Amino acid sequence: MWQAYEMPQSVEEALQILGQYDGRAQLIAGGTDLVIELQEGKHSVDCLVDVTRIPDLNRIEEGDGYIYMGANVTFRQIKDSALLREKARVLPEAAATVGALQIQTVATLAGNLVSALPAADGSVALLALDGEAEIVDKAGSAWRPVAELFLGPGRSAVDPARQMLTAIRFPVPEGRHGSAWERIGRRRALVLPILNCAVSLRLDEAGQNLVWARIGLGPVAPVPFRARETETYLAGQPATEEVFHQAGEMAAKEAHPRTSLLRASKEYRVEVLKVLVREALARAAHEAAGRE
Amino acid sequence: MEPKTYPLTMTVNGQPVTLEVEADELLVDALRDRLGLTGTKIGCNEGECGACTVIMDGEAILSCLVPALRAQGREVLTIEGLAEGETLHPLQQSFVEHGAVQCGYCIPGFVLSAKALLDRNPHPNRDEIKEAIAGNLCRCTGYVKIIEAIEAVADSGG
């Protein structure tokens, strides 16, 4: 499967090893997707560069108006983070639905982004939070919106043979903000989602109208999907059941999920999508209304 | 090209061990084939069944998805490390007493997932038990007796 296995102690060293292999080495974080892909022979590499021993990449912290998560932060850490549960619960709620505990303990949010799967729970949740990722390569480092990282199913703008995603951040939500995660699968653990939905929103000071809302959906397109038309409709609307119902109808039209042998029929998924959007909006608005 | 080999030093069931492993060897294969610890099972070999669950540094993980070299310097606990001589671990005893075992193939994984839970939370409620074993599949007995077996140990204080 691979002939060499390196465990660098710094980002610089990791990039240096990638450089030596000139495209024939690849980074591995949790590896819960990658090990299976390599076993199935979908692609091959000469060397895996394991980044999990690089210190200081496993922190979740708040600073300069953002919440930062290092590249080695696992879904388990996200699920258990008091900071995230308070400020952006959509992310810990999504983390809790990834695989099962043994996978959450090992798999990373950064790996979830680079795997670039259209159903990826962590990626869909980050879309609703307006997440950004720091990409480092020989030329330097830059923050890029998470939404720009997905090129197609399993195709990321981050090249794990030459670049490293070192951190993820999103703006600390302010005011009366709320968020929520909804997901449906055939059972609660160890299944891919039939559909998932992430919402974050802000209410005005009176707690009556939506200032803005963001909706992430998967898997309804080749990449994690942002329901921007529905978001445009929601801005300025009152936070009522009727509005959330209408948003569900709009999101189902905008996203048009397809029939999938692995998941469910189009007809079923359209109806479920409406409900997930409606319920996520209602839960997020309820959380927002409860804030000072 | 043949895979390179590397020395791997880890603690397995309380004993320090050093092995030569191949670059692409998975932890489950090192445990089973090099150390003869065949209590760790291979079910699906793709992270969907939990039969290969072991405890690494206190947490349940899937040894079929983890490169062996990632265990460098770590403490690994397999099902063989639970009993004290002829005396079963309380969880093992409870599984026997509650009839939680049929074919037995999935049981090492269940017991280790349960142990990781009880080590960090000695008195879990039923939902916490279900969450801890959600990554382990059993095709024989169903889950009720397994949950009852874990609950009995939790009630008695681990």
Residues 6+ apart with CB under 8 A from A157: A144, A148, A149, A150, A151
| pLDDT in the model for residue B24 | 97
Cβ-in-10-Å burial (0-12, 13-18, 19+) of B86 comes to: exposed
> Torsions phi, psi of A77, nearest 5?
-60, -40
Give the whole-angstrom CA distance, residue A179 versus residue A216.
11
Within this chain, do residues A73 and A162 fall inside the same structural domain, yes or no? yes
Average pLDDT over residues B99-121: 97
Full domain range(s) for residue A116: 60-171
Residue B157 has pLDDT above 80, yes or no: no
Tens of pLDDT, residues B41-76: 999 999 999 999 999 999 999 999 999 999 999 999
- Which neighbouring-strand residues pair with A167? A70, A134
> A126 with A113: CB under 8 angstroms?
yes
Q: Where are the domains of chain B?
A: 5-81, 90-155
- Which neighbouring-strand residues pair with A227? none
Given an 8 Å threshold on Cβ–Cβ distance, is B66 in contact with A7?
no
| pLDDT in the model for residue B20 | 97
| pLDDT in the model for residue A178 | 98
Tens of pLDDT, residues A172-229: 999 999 999 999 998 888 888 999 999 999 999 999 999 999 999 999 999 999 999 9
The residue among A171, A194, A215 that closes a domain is: A171
Within this chain, do residues A187 and A238 fall inside the same structural domain, yes or no? yes
Within this chain, do residues A44 and A64 fall inside the same structural domain, yes or no? no
**Measured between beta carbons, which residues in chain B are less than 8 angstroms from residue A189?**
134-135
Q: What is the CATH number of the domain that holds A19?
A: 3.30.43.10
The residue among A136, A171, A206 that closes a domain is: A171
Average pLDDT over residues B34-46: 96
* Residue the block writes with tokens 């000071």: A205
| pLDDT in the model for residue A177 | 98
Which pLDDT band, with edges at 50, 70 and 90, does A263 fall under?
Answer: confident
Please state whether beta strands A225-226 and B59-62 pair in parallel, antiparallel, or not at all (unpaired).
Answer: unpaired
Type and span of the H or E element at B114: helix B107-120
Is residue A160 assigned to a domain? yes
Please name the member of A1, A102, A188 whose beta carbon is closest to the beta carbon of B50: A102
Q: Which amino acid appears at position B54 of this protein?
A: V
Handedness of CA A156, A161, A162, A168 (dihedral sign): positive
Residue A273 has pLDDT above 90, yes or no: yes
Residue A92 sits at the chain B interface (C-beta within 8 Å): no
Length of chain B: 158
Q: To probe the interface with B, which of A5, A28, A74 has the most B CB atoms within 10 Å?
A: A5
Residues 6+ apart with CB under 8 A from A232: none
Pick the CATH number of B5-81 from 3.40.350.10, 3.10.20.30, 3.40.50.2300, 3.30.160.20: 3.10.20.30
Average pLDDT over residues A70-91: 98
Average pLDDT over residues A52-75: 97
Given an 8 Å threshold on Cβ–Cβ distance, is A188 in contact with B65?
no
Q: What is the CATH number of the domain that holds A92?
A: 3.30.465.10
Within this chain, do residues A72 and A20 fall inside the same structural domain, yes or no? no
Q: Does domain B90-155 have CATH number 1.10.150.120?
A: yes
> Torsions phi, psi of A125, nearest 5?
-65, -40
Within this chain, do residues A166 and A186 fall inside the same structural domain, yes or no? no
CB atoms within 10 A of CB A265: 13
> A74 with A129: CB under 8 angstroms?
no
3-class state of residue A187 by DSSP: coil
The residue among A171, A198, A213 that closes a domain is: A171
| pLDDT in the model for residue B119 | 97
Cβ-in-10-Å burial (0-12, 13-18, 19+) of B153 comes to: buried
Type and span of the H or E element at A173: none
- Which neighbouring-strand residues pair with A142? A135
| pLDDT in the model for residue A189 | 82
Residue A2 sits at the chain B interface (C-beta within 8 Å): yes
| pLDDT in the model for residue A275 | 98
Q: To probe the interface with A, which of B20, B64, B70, B76 has the most A CB atoms within 10 Å?
A: B70
Length of chain A: 292
| pLDDT in the model for residue A128 | 98
Within this chain, do residues A183 and A279 fall inside the same structural domain, yes or no? yes
Given an 8 Å threshold on Cβ–Cβ distance, is A101 in contact with B131?
yes
Domains B5-81 and B90-155 equal at CATH topology level? no
Is residue A55 assigned to a domain? no
A219's tokens: 């898997």
| pLDDT in the model for residue B141 | 77
Residue B148 has pLDDT above 70, yes or no: yes
Within this chain, do residues A77 and A182 fall inside the same structural domain, yes or no? no
Is residue A134 assigned to a domain? yes
Nearest Cα residue to A120 out of A203, A206, A193: A193
Given an 8 Å threshold on Cβ–Cβ distance, is A106 in contact with B61?
yes
3-state secondary structure A128-159: HCCCEEEEEECCEEEEEEHHHHEEECCEECCC
Q: What is the CATH number of the domain that holds A283?
A: 3.30.390.50
| pLDDT in the model for residue B142 | 85
| pLDDT in the model for residue A186 | 86
Is residue A240 assigned to a domain? yes
